[in-house]
Structure 1
Amino acid sequence: MNNGLAHEASAFINFRRYVTDPKEHGYRWVDIKRLRFSAESVDDGRLLAALIGHEQFRDDYAGGGVLPDGCRHGPYWLRLITPDLYEPISQEKAVQILREWMDPLWDVPAELETDLRREVFACLAAADGIYYLNELGDEAIHDWGRVHDYFHEFVLIDRSALRITLIVAADD
């Protein structure tokens, strides 16, 4: 276990796989990382800190993948991300953010909707706690961090499954 968390599985949903015209939502994707924690882990703040310290968190989401010695997380400098930057939100609010990002007027292809329900929305429904990383501001953006038009990050804590799930929904 790394920082009290063990990486369990990852999934990647690339919208390009589901659309025929890449200009039509084809540059969007969702990255899901599942990590297991021990029953002794009590406090959500400590779980968030453990996640931030875990090597799976060291991902710039720009094609490089997880870099164990990396200094970036998405568009941000890793050193500037702390547990208190995560806002607790409701399942309804998380679903709203994701649906608005996808485009509420878009008729989502059935296969994509099925994959999103299984990999994202089912996890949201099972979570005891949902945290959202708000925009950190210009000072937190790393040297080439503006490659994403949108970057939404959710951390889901499911105590019954002893699982923390990191969901990043973004586009480039």
Structure 2
Amino acid sequence: MDVSTSTAIDYTGQSFINFRDFEFEEEGRHRFRWIDSKKFDLLRPDLDDKFVLGALIAHPQFLDDYVGGGLDPEGLRHGPYWLSRISPDTYRKVDNATALDVLEQWISGCGMIPESLRVEIDHKVLDPVREATACYLLRTLDNTAANDYADIHNEFHEIVLIDRGTRRILLIVATDD
């Protein structure tokens, strides 16, 4: 198939939820957690999910190291992994309930979270998970894939949502620093 990344998906924006921006009560802690979501339009809904994942990985917005450096034009790191070790095959398809469970368990590590944070997470992250037609979870890769900054994150969760009905893709990274 002769389709380029630029004709398959288009970056449309980002949302960032920093748990430190919310006032926690005694029953909870921000634990330096945050959720970064990057939004893309699916320009070619006829493409299969594996191709869409490949187009996402090849997109310049995917070249984020998620360790504070932002986009890395050299594309060496992606979270705790070497970018070269990430491919469509490193994602596993999961049902919406599994994706929600991964996120809810991670969120619960903060204890009681403020209602305003819950509303923002529900609206920007969990509602899209519920509505997605396909969910992909980045597998935990072996130590040979771990980059030199891999120990910065206590937990690193990456979920790709494909919603064919709205022709949208959402790349969710939930982690800490």
| Contact 1:29–1:171 (Cα < 8 Å) also in 2 | yes
Q: CA deviation at 1:20?
A: 4.5
Q: CA deviation at 1:3?
A: 6.0
1:41-84 deviations in whole A, cap 9, x for unaligned? 42000000000101111111111111232211111101110101
How many residue pairs get aligned? The number is 171
Instruction: Report sequence identity in percent.
Output: 39
SS where residue 107 of structure 1 aligns?
coil
| Contact 1:14–1:29 (Cα < 8 Å) also in 2 | yes
Q: Which residue of 2 aligns with 1:13?
A: 17
The answer to whether residue 148 in structure 2 is matched with residue 137 in structure 1 is no
C-alpha distance in 2 between matches for 1:78 and 1:3: 22
| Contact 1:3–1:51 (Cα < 8 Å) also in 2 | no
Q: Which residue of 2 aligns with 1:46?
A: 51
Q: Which residue of 1 aligns with 2:108?
A: 103
| Contact 1:150–1:170 (Cα < 8 Å) also in 2 | yes
> Taking structure 2 as the reference length, what is the TM-score of the superposition?
0.90
The answer to whether residue 90 in structure 2 is matched with residue 82 in structure 1 is no
1:108-150 deviations in whole A, cap 9, x for unaligned? 2110001001110111011000000011011001112210000
Q: Which residue of 1 aligns with 2:170?
A: 165
Instruction: Could you list the structure 1 runs, at least 4 aligned residues long, displaced by more than 4 angstroms after superposition.
Output: none
RMSD across aligned C-alpha pairs, in angstroms?
A: 1.8
> Taking structure 1 as the reference length, what is the TM-score of the superposition?
0.93
AA matched with 1:117: D
Which segments of 5 or more consecutive residues in structure 1 lack a partner in the other structure? none
Q: CA deviation at 1:155?
A: 0.2
C-alpha distance in 2 between matches for 1:169 and 1:105: 13
C-alpha distance in 2 between matches for 1:107 and 1:45: 37
The answer to whether residue 67 in structure 2 is matched with residue 62 in structure 1 is yes
SS where residue 6 of structure 1 aligns?
strand
